[in-house]
Structure 1
Amino acid sequence: MDEEEKSAAMPRVTATQETLDLIETLRAKHGALMFHQSGGCCDGSAPMCYPQGELMVGEQDRLLGRIGGMPFYISASQFEYWKHTQLIIDVVPGRGGMFSLEGPEGKRFLTRSRLFSDAEYEALEPVE
């Protein structure tokens, strides 16, 4: 298995089918999207969804992967905390973060996680 296949086989971030369906609904309404794993403050630690380019990504943000074809970023400090886990983006009923696009849909994105096995972690490509 080459490096690209390893990375595709074990993503650092993935999404449930319900999440993928909501991403498609939001993409149809707003165009290309982007996600950022919030590190707390006003909206807790929810994954936030924005129109692509609305949130300025800085040098301290890391591209963790893509869900539904849309980029998913995390801050370097949050990545250090979560680097041993796979983030699983799910959807639950309720109001999302006040700045996140899914709020009017009556749903909110939620991050679940699971620890990578030692073998899975060793197979991951580094995040830059």
Structure 2
Amino acid sequence: MVERVTVTPAAEAVIATLKSIHGDLAFHQSGGCCDGSAPMCFPAGEFRTSAQDIHLGEIAGCQFFIGAAQFEYWSHTQLIIDVVPGRGSGFSLEAPEGVRFLTRSRVFSDEEMAELVAAGPPANGAH
């Protein structure tokens, strides 16, 4: 099955480093407030998700969520989480490492969209 969110090898390496420091992690795709539309990395359980968050999947063993309104805009694309040099948000765990996570995307093919539609909508983040 096609994944709604994936990770580059470079970002996966940063995630491994952050896990060694902070333990289990989770991501939330920002909707544009504090740091544009950057994916934010938190210790698992620190960012509370609700029915207004959509669970897109996992990257490098970490849960990945996006706000429901943001999902509506990006539902036709696969999110590709990458890392680049620079300083991102002070709220995201990678900031002190001199890098920031970045979301790239690609449009799903017609076949991939049909597969996703057949699978049904992703779960929300309510616990």
Counterpart CA distance in 1 for 2:46 and 2:87 is 20
Whether 1:46 and 2:38 are equivalent positions in the alignment is: yes
Show structure 1 runs of 5+ residues with no match: 1-5
The partner residue of 1:106 within 98, 102, 111 is: 98
> For 1:41-77, what per-residue CA distance to the aligned partner results, in whole angstroms no more than 9, with x for missing partners?
1111100000000011111001001000100000100
Shift of 1:97: 1.1
Whether 1:73 and 2:73 are equivalent positions in the alignment is: no
The partner residue of 1:37 within 4, 29, 41 is: 29
**Equivalent residue number for residue 88 of structure 1:** 80
The partner residue of 1:127 within 101, 122, 126 is: 122
TM-score where L is the length of structure 1? 0.92
The partner residue of 1:11 within 3, 6, 12 is: 3
TM-score where L is the length of structure 2? 0.92
Shift of 1:14: 0.2
Question: Equivalent pairs: percent with the same residue?
Answer: 62
Greater per-residue helix proportion? 1
Whether 1:57 and 2:49 are equivalent positions in the alignment is: yes
Counterpart CA distance in 2 for 1:32 and 1:42 is 23
Counterpart CA distance in 2 for 1:96 and 1:52 is 19
Counterpart CA distance in 2 for 1:102 and 1:127 is 27
SS of residue paired to 1:40: coil
